[in-house]
Structure 1
Amino acid sequence: MIVTIFTAAAIYVATGIDYLVILIVLFSQLKKGQEKHIWIGQYIGTVIIITVSLLVALGVANLIPQEWVIGLLGLLPLYLGIKIWVKGEEDADESNILSLFSSNRFKQLYLTVAFIVLASSADDFSIYIPYFTALNAIEIVIAIIVFLIMVGILCYISYRLASMKYISEKIEKYERWIVPIVFIGLGGYIMAENGTFHALITFLSS
C-alpha cells in the first residue's frame, strides 16, 4: 500500500508538473472568489483522463483518438494567447485574461481550464494506461485517491506561488508579454507534441 501511494504520487508529479506554470499564470489573473474555477477545471480534466485511461487499461473501451486529434485542443490556448496579445495592443485594461472569460464564448473559466488539461494529456495517457494495467482493484482505488489528492496539492502550490509578492508583481509588470507567450507557447507545444502540425500539413499537401 505504501509503495502504491508513493508510486502514484511520483507518477502524478511527473505528468502534472507541466501544469504548474499555466496554473500560476491563471491564478495571478483571477479576482478574489474565482479561484474555485481553476480547481474545478483541473479536477474535471484530471478525472476525465483517469477515467478514460482506466477504461482502456481494463479493456472496456478504446476511447483515445489519434494523438493529432488531441493536439487540436491546443488551438484553444493558442487562440487565447493571440487574443490577449491583440487586446493588449488595443486596450491595456482588456489584455487581462479575465476579459476573455467574461465574454459569451468563455463564460465558464473552469471549462477552459479543463480543455487545457485534456489538451496536455497525451503523455498522461501513455503513462496512466500501462500503470493501471499493472495494478489490482485495491491498488487502482488507492492510486486514484492519491491522484485526486495530488491535484489539490498542485493547485494549492500554484495558488501560493501566484500569491507571493515577488512573483505576482513580476507577472503584473510583464503580463502584457508573459500571459500571451505562455498561452501561445502552450498551444504550439501541444499541437507540435501530438503531431497536429504535421498531420495538417500532410492533409493540405495531399
Structure 2
Amino acid sequence: MLGTVIIISFASCGADNIALFTPFFMTLSANNLLLSIIIFALNILILGLLGKTIAKNPHLHDVLEKYSRWILAFVYIILGIMVLLESGTVSKILSFL
C-alpha cells in the first residue's frame, strides 16, 4: 500500500510543485536531499495511516466531509501567507511603495 501511495503522491505533484521545490532541492547537499526524501516518504505514510483512521471513524468522517471545503481553503490561505512572508515578497513589494 505504501508504494502505491508514494507513486500517487509523486504523480499528483504538478508542475507548480516541481517549480517550487526544484530550486530548494538544488541548494541541498546529498545528505540533506536524502533526508528530505526520507522525511517525505514518512509523511506520506503518516498521512495515509491518518486517512485510513479517519475513514474508519464515521463521526469524524462526517464532520470532515461537511467542512472539508472550508478547512482546505483555510489551510491554503495560511500557507500562502506564510510563503509570502517567509520569502520576503511582502517586504519587497512594500519597498517599491
State the TM-score, normalized to the length of structure 1.
0.31
Answering whether residue 69 of structure 2 is matched by residue 180 of structure 1, we say yes
Could you say if the C-alpha distance between residues 38 and 54 of structure 1 is closer, same or farther in structure 2, counting changes exceeding 3 Å? closer
Question: What's the counterpart of residue 157 of structure 1?
Answer: 46
Residues matched between the structures, number = 77
| Distance in 2 of aligned mates of 1:173 and 1:191 | 27
Answering whether residue 79 of structure 2 is matched by residue 190 of structure 1, we say yes
Question: Relative contact order, CA 8 A, sep 6+: which one is greater?
Answer: 1
Question: What's the counterpart of residue 37 of structure 1?
Answer: 8
- What is the letter of the counterpart of residue 40 of structure 1? A
- What is the letter of the counterpart of residue 74 of structure 2? G
Could you say if the C-alpha distance between residues 171 and 183 of structure 1 is closer, same or farther in structure 2, counting changes exceeding 3 Å? same
- CA-to-aligned-CA distance 1:58-116 (integer Å, 9 cap, x gap): xxxxxxxxxxxxxxxxxxxxxxxxxxxxxxxxxxxxxxxxxxxxxxxxxxxxxxxxxxx
Could you say if the C-alpha distance between residues 152 and 191 of structure 1 is closer, same or farther in structure 2, counting changes exceeding 3 Å? closer
- Summarize the alignment of residues 1-206 of structure 1 with structure 2, pairs less than 5 Å apart: 35=5, 36-41=7-12, 45=17, 48-49=20-21, 51-55=22-26, 57=27, 132=28, 140-164=29-53, 167-168=54-55, 169=57, 170-174=59-63, 175-177=65-67, 179-193=68-82, 194=84
| Distance in 1 of aligned mates of 2:70 and 2:35 | 32
Which protein has the bigger helix share? 2
- What is the letter of the counterpart of residue 52 of structure 1? P
| Distance in 2 of aligned mates of 1:159 and 1:171 | 16
**Cα RMSD over matched residues?**
3.2
| Distance in 2 of aligned mates of 1:46 and 1:148 | 14
State the TM-score, normalized to the length of structure 2.
0.57
Shift of 1:39: 4.2
- What is the letter of the counterpart of residue 151 of structure 1? F
| Distance in 1 of aligned mates of 2:48 and 2:79 | 23
Shift of 1:144: 0.6
| Distance in 1 of aligned mates of 2:74 and 2:61 | 19
Gaps in structure 2 of 5+ consecutive residues = none
Could you say if the C-alpha distance between residues 40 and 150 of structure 1 is closer, same or farther in structure 2, counting changes exceeding 3 Å? farther
| Distance in 1 of aligned mates of 2:8 and 2:25 | 25
